[in-house]
Amino acid sequence: MDKIVLKDVNMIFKTKRQTIHALKDISINVPEKSIVSIVGPSGCGKSTIIRLICNIIEPTSGDIYVDEYRYEKEVSKSTIRKMGFIFQRPNLLPWLTLRENIEFPQKIVGHKGKEWKEYVDELLEIGRLTKCADLRPSALSGGMLQRAGVLRGMANKPEILLMDEPFGALDDLLREQLDLETLDIWRKLNQTIIFITHNVREAVLMSSKVYVMTTAPGRILEEVDIDLPYPRDLTILTDPKFIGYDQRITSLIGELDLTKIK
């Protein structure tokens, strides 16, 4: 069953000086409990897709479905509450402890009680941050901060995680470590993930499907199914099938050094 579906979605931004066709005829299907990545050069509209799914902006035309619920002018709060958003940077509140930062989304929506505190304990354990729970962000390493940002996005038990280049600012070694940790969390919590990235190797490592986008206007160039078994570790990077997917997607996007795009 598809958890998220976009059908022929267009997004046009108009200003006094120009009209920008940001997305053209976008159609994607995200199966339930899968990880689907969207890759492409800067300005192709990857983050705009996430903003549409979150209902931060409305499409100019086309249809969006979550659990077969079709978005109307007013999207139900119950649908939006199914989602957790993980940003490019963790942006933890410096005056709160790690535990308090992870609990913060729960307080916003009024989740409280023993069940929710125990769930935060579970997240800290899954993220191997239990010993750091009472520390403030200034005492944590960069990898710990990014991991905490992922856990905070899961604090309200979302069925869907929308991850917008969460590890884009990290070096390759730390990025791959956090990719594997995210895969482990996903396997334990059974969420549906849309993963936005510039990094083709990261997309192939994480995903069961990759949508390749191009610019001017942003549109889907190709849908690539990744036929590699889970669970995955870094030994998969030398698998001939993995290398084939990496090369195919990179060639679709063009001869770009994607690791240098911010």
> What is the per-residue pLDDT across 181-192, written as a single tens digit (0 to 9) for each?
889 888 888 899
My answer on whether 134 and 153 are in the same domain is yes
Whether residue 163 is found in the same domain as residue 146:
no
The DSSP element (H or E) to which 212 belongs, if any, is strand 209-214
- Length of the chain, in residues: 262
- Domain stop point among 133, 158, 183: 158
Task: Say which CATH number the domain at 64 has.
Answer: 3.40.50.300
Domain count, the chain: 2
Q: What percent of the chain has pLDDT over 70?
A: 97
Give me the domain span that covers residue 215.
Answer: 2-82+159-260
Does any domain span residue 88?
Answer: no
Global pTM value: 0.88
pLDDT tens column, 209-218: 999 999 889 9
DSSP secondary structure letter of residue 10: E
Q: What pLDDT is stored for residue 128 in this prediction?
A: 87
Q: Within a 10 A sphere around the Cβ of 220, how many other Cβ atoms?
A: 20
Please name the residue that has the structure tokens 């119950």.
78
DSSP 3-state of 261: coil
Contact status, residue 175 vs residue 234, Cβ threshold 8 Å: no
Domain boundary among 110, 127, 158: 158
Q: Is residue 109 part of a domain?
A: yes
Q: Specify whether 221 is located in the same domain as 235.
A: yes
Number of Cβ atoms within 10 Å of the Cβ of 211: 25
Does residue 127 share a domain with residue 57?
no
Point out the least confidently predicted range of 33-37, 122-126, 168-172, 210-214: 168-172
Q: Six-digit token pair at 207?
A: 């995903």
